[in-house]
Structure 1
Amino acid sequence: MTKEIKQRIDQIKNGEVPQGYKKTKIGIVPNEWEENKLKDIAPLQRGFDLPSYQINKGVYPICCSNGITGYHNEFKVKGPGVWTGRSGTIGKVFYTEKNYWAHNTSLWVTNFINSIPKYIFYLYTFIDFSKYDAGSTVPTLNRNDIHSLKISIPSIAEQQKISEILSTQDKVIELKEKLLKEKEKQKKYLVQSLVTGKKRLKGFNGEWKKVKLGNLMNENNEFVGDRNIKPVAIGVYGIRQREDIFSKDLSKNYSRNKVFKNNQICFGIGTNQIVYGVNIVNKIYCVSPAYKVLDIVNIDPYYLKLLLDINNLRLSSLYLIISARQGKSVDFDGLFNEEFDIPLFEEQKAIAEILTTADKELKLLQEELEEEKRKKKALMQLLLTGIVRVKV
């Protein structure tokens, strides 16, 4: 960011009007930008009814509140088009180059007046319609509530240039997302191949042995007492900080919580599956007394996690007990009697190292993706408000 742009941002934050800008009811904008109501630039209209039994498979996207949900053999609107959610899911804005069927759960732009579709897509995304939710039980967006919004837009030429810049950033994000998905597929293949023994690592040919799950762990009921230990929760995403999950104030008395240390596993109960977390980060946490904490023995901790990952759906279907009277519980006797074929420790470790490296690559790619998304958000803030001007 140049010194000039930083100075302009500071001026606008302080209510000062930079040279080439004007003060309006909606804020400080470039002199050339025109102020209009939303309905006078890109008005919205409720989509068209299309019951599921009337859908005939075709090539025209069915555009609903949560995006494209299918394809029909007829279209109602000529592309390119922009729509957003009217009922059910609101806030997200979508764009298509194709002719499409605007579904009755959507609001679609009926006309682009002194504006281009791609620019309106970015502008409406930036506005964030979710703030105008008028629903009580079902999220609802009333077009009358947003049609009166005043917005300021540049010339068609500047809209085109801004759209090109943001589209380029979108392509960067799409490439990162595609690469991330490919890496996730590769890791999944490696897990399924290596942990089941379908694929052996070079240099390992030892016989795998059948062991009971219960022989790989010993229960440990160490309590926190008067120590100050950070609480965590265990769920479908593994180990998570409690403050990241619960917004309300939490109890500060964790004396009866169980200690959860490195090389331990913690079991709990999810909505419809057994949940667990394996502590391999060399940190000490504490968990609710309702969890079962066990020391991991006779197996590499990360390998144990992988073993449970690929078997958890089957294990949950067998040993997660759901009772109308007693609620949910885990049949740990049955679970711990399950037998698995596992390799010798050195091969476990080698497999774990390969898949740990894959995890690090995935984490790095995810961080890069988030960074590109932050860049796009910053670009939208600067370009769609006119703080940064583009040459046309």
Structure 2
Amino acid sequence: MTEALPSTPEWSEKKLDDLVEFLDGQRRPMKSSDREKMNGIYPYYGATGVIDYVDGYIFDEELVLLGEDGENILSRNLPQAFVIRGKTWVNNHAHVMRPKNCVDAKFLAFALERLDFAKFNTGSAQPKITKGTCKSIGVPVPPTKHEQTKVSEALSHMDNLIASLDALVAKKEAIKQGMMQELLTGKLRLPGSTGEWREVALDDACEMKSGFGITSRNISKTGRFRCYGANGIRGFTDRATHSGVFPLIGRVGAQCGNVVLVKGDFFASEHAIVATVRAGYDPAWLSLVLSRMGLNRKSEASAQPVLTVSKLKLLSLRAPPDEDEQKKIASVIFDTEEEINELQSRRDKLRSIRKAMSQQLLTGMIRLL
């Protein structure tokens, strides 16, 4: 006779009040003027995280905070539930919860963070989640703290990977900005570069013309050619107006002055200005220079901002003595931009995986035993 294997205990939904002890009575708000007088090393928490540092603390343990009020309850642009540790001060805009011995604090924060708090909102002018409402919130939990910890460790590992890529993207972005500042002004020269930079009129570097008129019915989600407007691709169409490599400048609206480099066959609408480089100038390099010129500040003041070709013709720029140096500068900067794009793509994939993991691990669909 075959002996039956023991079954795995199932997850269950428990009220938040059964999982934590509320410490809201110990919170103490402090006016900004008072915090200035008590400036210190201990984090001062509000509804969505640290808002200041003070010379004093209320708590000295691992706790879970849940934002009590504020627009973040609806928008969720910032964390709504999070763990704090060590010496801290919490104001009256966050519920303070001490997890019971059977509860992993990080797991609880993750579990709360994935909930839709809009349905728990009891405020009118100001979104709010009352303590009474919090106590009745149902949280799916595994049967053991060990499994909770396994789940929180897996999700924390993914968060750390995403954070490391965020930091790397930010570092690369800073490097790119520094390179643009140095290389596009001649302060830093690439190996082999000689000759003096010169001041030239923008009109001498390129010919600028507005694009062509097109109605919205002639723009679709599919088509042979990309159709560009003031802020990039508007859609697709069945005919092209240009072929090659061109900087496009947004001409109308909030995005006037926006610069994109376009390659291949495309349609340029009347909302874009097409810059056709003259002999001795590289279009990729010119697009980078134009992007740093603050062209949006040159727009005509009206209800609808408009950038005119006549105004652009009055501008000047500094250029390397030959097109070869321009190409090298553009190559270095665009190579760095490509590295940034690849890192962002990796990060976005990890975020998608993290979202799926959260759905499966925090509901018991996948078990970590």
Deviation of 1:367 (Å): 0.9
Aligned to 2:184, the other structure's residue is in SS state helix
Match of 1:162 in 2: 151
Q: CA RMSD in A?
A: 3.4
Q: Distance in 2 between matches of 1:141 and 1:241?
A: 42
Deviation of 1:72 (Å): 1.5
Q: Distance in 2 between matches of 1:138 and 1:300?
A: 54
Identify which of 185, 189, 212 aligns with 1:222: 212
Aligned to 1:266, the other structure's residue is in SS state strand
Match of 1:54 in 2: 34
Deviations 1:64-114 (A, max 9, x none): 234222212222333323223321323323333233222333333254463
Q: Distance in 1 between matches of 2:44 and 2:94?
A: 10
Identify which of 314, 322, 325 aligns with 1:337: 314
Match of 1:8 in 2: none
Equivalent positions of 1:171-250 (< 5 A) are 171-215=160-204, 216-224=206-214, 233-235=229-231, 239=232, 241=234
Q: Is the Cα contact below 8 Å between 2:253 and 2:306 reproduced in 1?
A: no
Match of 1:280 in 2: 262
Q: Distance in 1 between matches of 2:356 and 2:366?
A: 11
Q: Is the Cα contact below 8 Å between 1:43 and 1:110 reproduced in 2?
A: yes
Q: Distance in 2 between matches of 1:103 and 1:114?
A: 27
Match of 2:90 in 1: 102
Match of 2:52 in 1: 70
Q: Is the Cα contact below 8 Å between 1:63 and 1:103 reproduced in 2?
A: yes
Q: Is the Cα contact below 8 Å between 2:15 and 2:138 reproduced in 1?
A: yes
Deviations 1:239-270 (A, max 9, x none): 2557xxxxxxxxx9x99xx9687514132456
Q: Give, as a single letter, the amino acid of the residue that structure 2 aligns with 1:35.
A: E
Whether 1:89 and 2:72 are equivalent positions in the alignment is: yes
Aligned to 2:188, the other structure's residue is in SS state coil
TM-score scaled to structure 1, two decimals? 0.75
Match of 1:357 in 2: 335
Deviation of 1:371 (Å): 1.7
Unaligned segments of structure 1, at least 5 residues: 1-18, 22-29, 243-251
Q: Give, as a single letter, the amino acid of the residue that structure 2 aligns with 1:151.
A: V
Q: Distance in 1 between matches of 2:266 and 2:198?
A: 32
Aligned to 2:230, the other structure's residue is in SS state strand
Match of 1:116 in 2: 104
Match of 1:11 in 2: none
Q: Distance in 1 between matches of 2:10 and 2:234?
A: 49
Deviates more, 1:185-194 or 1:331-340: 331-340
Q: Give, as a single letter, the amino acid of the residue that structure 2 aligns with 1:97.
A: R
Q: Distance in 2 between matches of 1:142 and 1:65?
A: 13
Deviations 1:197-233 (A, max 9, x none): 1111111213322112233232144233768665555
Identify which of 11, 36, 39 aligns with 2:17: 39
Identify which of 229, 246, 250 aligns with 1:263: 246
Unaligned segments of structure 2, at least 5 residues: none
Q: Is the Cα contact below 8 Å between 2:361 and 2:367 reproduced in 1?
A: yes
Deviations 1:109-159 (A, max 9, x none): 254463121111111122243554555555444454453232231211221
Deviation of 1:194 (Å): 0.8
CA distance 1:334–1:266, shift in 2 (3 Å): closer
Q: Give, as a single letter, the amino acid of the residue that structure 1 aligns with 2:14.
A: N
Aligned to 1:94, the other structure's residue is in SS state strand
Q: Give, as a single letter, the amino acid of the residue that structure 1 aligns with 2:49.
A: G
Q: Is the Cα contact below 8 Å between 1:20 and 1:31 reproduced in 2?
A: no
Q: Is the Cα contact below 8 Å between 1:65 and 1:84 reproduced in 2?
A: yes
Deviation of 1:377 (Å): 1.9
What percent of counterpart residues are identical?
Answer: 24
Q: Distance in 2 between matches of 1:259 and 1:143?
A: 62
CA distance 1:322–1:293, shift in 2 (3 Å): closer
Aligned to 1:119, the other structure's residue is in SS state helix
Q: Is the Cα contact below 8 Å between 1:265 and 1:296 reproduced in 2?
A: no
Aligned to 2:344, the other structure's residue is in SS state helix
Deviation of 1:374 (Å): 2.0
CA distance 1:48–1:188, shift in 2 (3 Å): same
Q: Distance in 1 between matches of 2:115 and 2:241?
A: 46
